[in-house]
Amino acid sequence: MAERPDYFVKSADKTLAVLLAFSAGNTELTVSQVATATDQTRASARRFLLTLTDLGYLQAVGNAFRMTPRVLDIGAAYLSGLTLPQAAVSHLQALARDLEETASLCVLEGQDVLYVERVTAPRLHALNVSIGNRLPAWVTSMGRVLIAHLEPAEQEAFLERVDLHPYTEHTLADLEALKKELATVREQEWSLVNQELDEGLRGLAVPVFRGGKLLGALNISVQTSRNNPQYIQDELLPRLRRAAQDIADDFGGRLG
């Protein structure tokens, strides 16, 4: 083992080791189990367990110990300062790396989607946007996810202000057709936009929900030459949904 610096406090190291011994699969541990998990004597492990019990982080259950809700205080300060982009960036990086496609996180601001985090694929494509850029929400997959989940009155007000016009020959620039598409997006909870804003590019997006609250939309940009719509729906959509759930979990911890 590497030599510890002079300032290193061994008791702090051991205290954290005792707390980290508890997990989803080990919610209740005896003194002997903690001693084994943390490479301490039973006497030493017992002292740490009793001290953490006195401080309110553990409680005794027969001859075992388990965590109390007070341990949440340890991470509360970090979670309260954790922004959605910070929670998302590692998952966007994983998507961009594994799928070799650009991954983005967007929120709705006015009539636009605002890019709050974005990780580009190794390849370049025609649509060049970065964090802080905006695009018309109605013509993007992430925008349609966000608009679709507005309250009916809010959605109606949004659509009254929208400026529909074709960007490509594929653009859905008819209001009634757009309303029908938004209803479908809300029901299925994903959107696939095919070359409506940029030729040669498809956008796939899913909502990021936490506790019923819509946080934003997660998107990947897919080149038409690489993936067909069926493959996107069958193979890429499940990956995007898992990443959206992981972002929500990281943003505030697992619910339930």
Domains of the chain listed by start with CATH number: 12-75 (1.10.10.10), 82-252 (3.30.450.40)
Of 5-14, 165-174, 201-210, 217-226, where does mean pLDDT reach its minimum? 5-14
Alpha helices in the chain (DSSP H): 10-20, 31-38, 42-54, 72-81, 84-99, 141-148, 152-161, 175-188, 229-231, 237-252
Of 9-23, 35-49, 185-199, where does mean pLDDT reach its minimum? 9-23
Question: What pLDDT is recorded for position 157?
Answer: 94
Beta-carbon contacts of residue 27 (< 8 Å; ≥ 6 apart): 66, 67
Question: What pLDDT is recorded for position 24?
Answer: 59
- Count the Cβ atoms, other than its own, within 10 Å of residue 41: 10
Question: What pLDDT is recorded for position 165?
Answer: 93
Question: What pLDDT is recorded for position 127?
Answer: 53
Question: What pLDDT is recorded for position 123?
Answer: 58
pLDDT surpasses 80 at 69: no
Strands 64-67 and 112-119: unpaired
Question: What pLDDT is recorded for position 75?
Answer: 64
What's the predicted TM-score (pTM) here?
Answer: 0.68
